[in-house]
Amino acid sequence: MIRIIALIIFYTFSIVVAFAQVKSEEILIKNNGIELPGTLTYSEDKTPLLIWIHGSGNVDRNGNQLPYVKANYIKQFRDSVNQHNIAFFSYDKRTANKKNMAVLKKGILFDSFISDAKKVISHFKNDTRFSEIVLIGHSQGSLIAMLASKNSDKYISLAGPSGFIDQKIVDQMKTKNPLIVNTLQEHFKELKETGTIKKVNPSLVTMFNPQNTPFFKSWMQYNPSEEIKKINIPVLIINGTKDLQVSIEDAKTLHISNSKSELVVIENMNHVLKHIDKDENNMNSYFSADYPLSDKLIKTVVSFVKK
């Protein structure tokens, strides 16, 4: 009995020490009046640093989007990679920080997100605690990370679209509202050619409001399948079979575009990186942190980072 108690105490102490080794720092990075507060976690010096680049929307550093999305997938990812001696930094996207509202009301371009990512990379580039910088771009962030990857050592595309954003939106609309597809295509064509849309269809006024049109115009100039060809650092492309927003074909197209890249398709992983056995749980996992992250995702990323 005494030996059993001693073993329990030993293993409990070991677990406590393991968690105590993970250090956490709150870091505020500024970019021309924009505040990007984030969390840095690391367990020891001279380890790789993973920098997370967000997908679309008002995503915070933990992977939540008020008031509805509470998947907490970035925090789950952070905690998982930290246990493999990989440092991690994620920040509140400029659209997730209320302190930025005054600046955001003046308008926002897609290039603003690229500028933010570059500023974050620059902050850590000469930090001697870390052996290399690995960018991981999720969804919309896949393209942003591509375009900001110049001073990075490795790049991961996670659930990243492969084509122009206007075509992606049109494709998604074909299943949601096929009657508006032709009008949507005409609006995008007019926006691309003239920089504006003179008369917006009433069904599309929310999408093409005066604040959104410059953003779409700046986003539409980039084709991920072309941009990924320009990356000369190691590239890993990941997508899940349960992803409702970005298809496996997108991942395959990106892989073909960069012949030196690695492609990993993860069975039963959805867009917010959760393992989904039942289809009815796919959307539910966006609104709860109770669903587990894909184990294979963590194994795949850790293996790539530590090569």
Q: Of the ranges 80-89, 98-107, 219-228, 292-301, which one carries the lowest mean pLDDT score?
A: 98-107
Question: Mean of the pLDDT values across residues 279-289?
Answer: 96
Q: What single letter denotes the amino acid at residue 210? A: P
Return the pLDDT at 3. 53
Answer whether 0.85 is exceeded by the pTM.
yes
Return the pLDDT at 18. 46
Return the pLDDT at 7. 46
Return the pLDDT at 17. 40
Q: Is the pLDDT of residue 10 over 70?
A: no
d(C-alpha 124, C-alpha 238), whole Å? 25
Question: Mean of the pLDDT values across residues 114-123?
Answer: 98
User: How many CA atoms within 13 Å lie on the side-chain side of 30?
Assistant: 4
Return the pLDDT at 2. 52
Residue of 247, 252, 274 lying closest to 263 (CA atoms) = 252
Return the pLDDT at 208. 93
Return the pLDDT at 254. 98
The pLDDT mean for the chain works out to 93
pLDDT band, very low/low/confident/very high, at 21 (cuts 50, 70, 90):
confident
Domain with CATH 3.40.50.1820 in the chain: 2-163+236-305
Classify 2-163+236-305 by CATH class. alpha beta
pLDDT band, very low/low/confident/very high, at 15 (cuts 50, 70, 90):
very low
Return the pLDDT at 55. 96
Task: Using the structure block, give the residue that is written with the tokens 């980039």.
Answer: 222
Question: Mean of the pLDDT values across residues 11-25?
Answer: 61
Return the pLDDT at 158. 98
Question: Mean of the pLDDT values across residues 250-261?
Answer: 97
Distances (CA, A) of 194 to 187, 203, 214: 10, 21, 11
Return the pLDDT at 24. 97
Inter-residue contact 293 to 275 (CB < 8 Å): yes
Question: Mean of the pLDDT values across residues 225-229?
Answer: 98
Q: Is the pLDDT of residue 11 over 50?
A: no
C-beta contacts of 42-47 below 8 A and 24+ residues apart: 42/82, 42/87, 42/88, 42/129, 42/130, 43/82, 43/85, 43/87, 44/85, 45/128, 45/129, 45/130, 46/129, 46/130, 46/131, 47/85, 47/86, 47/87, 47/129, 47/130, 47/131
Return the pLDDT at 44. 86
Q: Is the pLDDT of residue 232 over 90?
A: yes
